[in-house]
Chain A
Amino acid sequence: KNQVEQSPQSLIILEGKNCTLQCNYTVSPFSNLRWYKQDTGRGPVSLTIMTFSENTKSNGRYTATLDADTKQSSLHITASQLSDSASYICVVTGLTGRRALTFGSGTRLQVQP
């Protein structure tokens, strides 16, 4: 069964610090991997998308990496801000059938002043 596991489940950091969130997946064959940010009470919004041939993708202070051999991805947040407080969801798209999306359960990040 296709799975996406994220760690840690939750994380508290101080404003200005960096952090890294992890995503391990078993989806195969694999089309692409996305990281979404979900603010409390809102729908997820895409941060980055990577295909299997891409190793890294940046979006401002967010940098995602992908190792398709080990089926691992990470999201690095630099110089965190209070507005980064949210859940971060890793989503993997399969390559077969209707290209179903498999969602991780998310990492809840809290940035404190």
Chain B
Amino acid sequence: NAGVTQTPKFQVLKTGQSMTLQCAQDMNHNSMYWYRQDPGMGLRLIYYSASEGTTDKGEVPNGYNVSRLNKREFSLRLESAAPSQTSVYFCASRWTSGGQGYEQYFGPGTRLTVT
């Protein structure tokens, strides 16, 4: 039982390049999330997926796209990377039912630098 896994762990991009961050969970959770964490700030929600086939914008969605490929996998894509997207990205998942959200589990993070 690996929990939430993310790839890659580290990535350096040049401005304008694109890439996809991968996330997978094996806990049969229905909800999945992408956050970014910047120094001195709390985690901020980029996008989330309440269930397979649905995605919604969070607090800071500009410059990102997501795909909920199936129940297990939720990817985050940067189409044209900018230095402002230098951050640590965390994927998370949890079970939600009847409007009630349970424990949220986080992946180990992807440290992205855009030069």
**B-binding residues in A (CB < 8 A):** 4, 9, 31, 41-46, 49, 89, 93, 98-106
Contact = CB atoms under 8 A, between A and B. Distances in A.
Contacts of B43: 44, 89, 103
Given A4-B42, A43-B90, A101 B104 contact: yes
19 contacts: A9-B40, A31-B101, A41-B109, A42-B109, A43-B107, A43-B109, A44-B90, A44-B106, A89-B42, A93-B101, A98-B50, A98-B56, A100-B45, A103-B43, A103-B44, A104-B42, A105-B40, A105-B41, A105-B42
A103 B108 CA distance: 17
B99 interface: yes
Given A93-B101, A99-B99, A101-B104, A43 B4 contact: yes
A45 B108 CA distance: 10
Contacts of A100: 45
B33 to A, nearest CB: 9
Interface string B25-52: 0000000000000001111110010100
A42 B51 CA distance: 26
Nearest to B99: A99
A93 B96 CA distance: 13
Contacts of B48: 98
Interface in B85-115: 90, 92, 96, 99-101, 103-104, 106-109
